[in-house]
Amino acid sequence: MVGPPIVGLHDHVSDGPTFLINEHAAHVADIAIDRVDVEVHHSLAATQIGIILQVRADLKHPPLIALGFGDKYKLVKAFQKGGHIVGMCGDGANDAPALRQAQIGIAVSTATDVAKSAAGMVLTKSGLAGIVASVKEGRVIFQRILTYTLNSITKKIVQVLFLAVGLIMTGHAILTPMPMVLIMITGDFLGMSLTTKNVRPSPTPNAWKIGQLTIAGVSMGIDELVFCASTLAFGLYPRHFDMDTLRTLTFVVIVFGNQATTYTNRERRRLWSTRPSSWLIASSVGDVLMASTLAIAGITMKPLPVSMVVGTLVAACVFAVILDSVKVPVFRRLGIT
């Protein structure tokens, strides 16, 4: 007896999933993850993408191959119970519960209105490449915010404490209102230009670690405080500058010291790992030229010898390199990446 004809159908996997997996695997290679757990509907599709289905031992509900209506939602919940941050990508109405439950639900461009409403992000182009681009862009933005916050903590620490240390060393206020305003102006230009800095996205998901961030900022601030106080002591004792000249020196050393810590704070690795943005370089050159011109010409302050201004700038550059060598192990120990 001859049965009805059987026709085999095969839905070829597009390039999108393969690109997504390869990009993701390359992006987390630095933390020694040797597999990627992906929800797939068929082992053949997994083979084409280039992954092997594995059962997670730390999940109460292992990944499912034949997924029913509510199984995707249960799978997301299982990953979350295991301590994972879950992203879910879907296109149909049956995906809506899982898209809503996941920390980040992603609806593809051809998804139903229900799926798009449940998702936190909707791709505007076909394929899955937009997921990788979104993750990278999010990590870039986070790194810029992290740098700005770290830089702000550092500057607040050094400026407040340096005023107190200077008062103890000289018995007088080491800054008058006008230099303080100029320091704030130069610092604001530098801080705003940090938003344009070249950033390499971090290899792992980011999280706010306020305690570690504060410790890192205080550490950098104290290091700059030592540099500023040492320069002030050099002008006070070997050079025997009068009080007005010391105030000018204080203005110069704070501006130059802020330059050094800004360039060390902008990178989690060595400061020369990435090229600074053009705006940051232009802002630095403008700040240094303005501070040097005002100090040497004696505009709104007592003139400072050219040799002292140049020497302070060179010392700030050396300080930046030394501070960078200290920063790398400290940041690594605090988990700031």
Q: Can you list the residues of the chain whose pLDDT is less than 50?
A: 7-11, 26-66
User: In the structure encoding, which two tokens stand for residue 119, read together?
Assistant: 């998702």
pLDDT in tens, 41-89: 444 444 444 444 443 444 444 444 445 667 788 888 888 888 888 888 8
- Is this prediction's pTM over 0.85? no
Domains and their CATH numbers in the chain: 15-131 (3.40.50.1000), 137-334 (1.20.1110.10)
Identify whether the C-beta of residue 106 lies closer than 8 Å to the C-beta of residue 123: yes
Count of beta carbons in the 10 Å neighbourhood of residue 211:
9
The letter for the amino acid at 221 is G
Q: Given this model, what pLDDT does residue 16 score?
A: 54
Which CA distances in Å does 40 have to 17, 36, 48, 154, 173? 10, 12, 11, 47, 68
